[in-house]
A and B are shown apart, each in its own frame.
Chain A
């Protein structure tokens, strides 16, 4: 797909007007004008990639961190009772535009959105085969992102300290949002 003919690229470039609620270095968040619920946004990498597997790691990291910020904003400022992060990757998955995007959907009880599924019955053998194949595919493929960052930040002995809270710099509220959200879930 050429960039010129991609609708989303035109939104990124501003050729098509949109409600741009956040702009990062690599990704932007747009309010969906025909959203599933009021406040439904999508986060799109600025560079054109049709599907998730093609999107570089840095773009993915930023897109989902923006999605997370949006999720918090929807909770805190638009009275969402829940949020969905949803990616349709490929046409069989329901993707309609050939530009990777992360949907962030504010939810309320009984809002008429259905993202549920009927569990499929699968034989034990089939599951065991899938497990083996997946393990095979994934063997020795540690994600380097965190460790790469850790290496860059030599001062920090370990990225993962088991600390339950987000870094204070990320939040401005009075109470730690981790705590706020703990209380939010019934």
Chain B
């Protein structure tokens, strides 16, 4: 992807040209420039690990970790908002599947799913990509999201703005509980830890009951479901997802 840096004049000229293009021309133009379209077309070599009607998954040549997958749409889209809804949904279902496969293929203990829309977000190529990065403890990859304190008024304003543009009612919120949320997380974690410890001592074997399907009609009234997480069916795998999920109670 090493390209010569264009001069400011060339950039300006190009920008003017782009501004005049019809959407179809613009798309065609971008496609021709796009390395990932060449990968999809097979003009550029890659290690393909999965392919279907809408997507292609290849191994990243500059991986954060061994097994780092780039999930591409076959059609050229620059950023996520351009994807038709069906393709978008499909893409992330494939991402789930790939993440699942990584657990076994590279013995991952977790994964990051990441999309960068726009240069400011770290996007490097003009083709919509979902990164699926297998993770393990102390693997040297650091993705840290800073926690920044924000004032209540501006939060309310942003919330209103977002809700409005999404067609949702303006969110109202009482400020009372905010500061002790972290406290509650800690408490909750502690309680869970104790509970899990007890549970582990009591029932070392896993339940053999079939996975329960959550009822879409009553999404929040599913009390029974959480009592004992049923083991997820694992086609040909020996890693239990619950073990990974269960680690949450085991930390600290």
Given contacts A134-B67, A162-B75, contact A41 B100 (CB under 8 A): no
Expressed in whole angstroms, the minimum distance between the Cβ of A70 and any Cβ of chain B is 7
Expressed in whole angstroms, the minimum distance between the Cβ of B99 and any Cβ of chain A is 6
Given contacts A18-B173, A33-B178, contact A92 B139 (CB under 8 A): yes
Indicate if the CB atoms of A181 and B82 lie closer than 8 Å. Answer: yes
Query: Which residues of chain B from 53 to 100 have any CB-CB distance to chain A below 8 Å in the complex?
Result: 53-54, 57, 59, 62-67, 69, 75, 77-94, 96-100
Residue among A77, A82, A143 with the most chain B CB within 10 A?
A143
Binding site for A on B (CB under 8 A): 18-19, 23, 26-27, 30, 47, 49-50, 52-54, 57, 59, 62-67, 69, 75, 77-94, 96-106, 108-123, 126, 133, 135-137, 139-150, 154-156, 158-159, 161-166, 168, 171, 173-178, 181, 184-185, 188, 191-192, 195, 213-214, 216, 219-220, 222-223, 225-227, 232, 235-236, 241, 244-245, 247-249, 251
Sample 11 A-B pairs with CB under 8 A, ordered by A number: A18-B171, A19-B155, A22-B163, A31-B155, A48-B225, A51-B245, A64-B91, A78-B158, A94-B135, A138-B49, A183-B26
Binding site for B on A (CB under 8 A): 1-3, 5-7, 12-13, 16-23, 25-26, 29, 31, 33-41, 46-48, 50-58, 60-61, 64-65, 68-78, 80-98, 103, 105, 107-109, 111-120, 122, 126-128, 130-131, 133-138, 141-143, 145-146, 149, 159-160, 162-167, 170, 176-179, 181-186
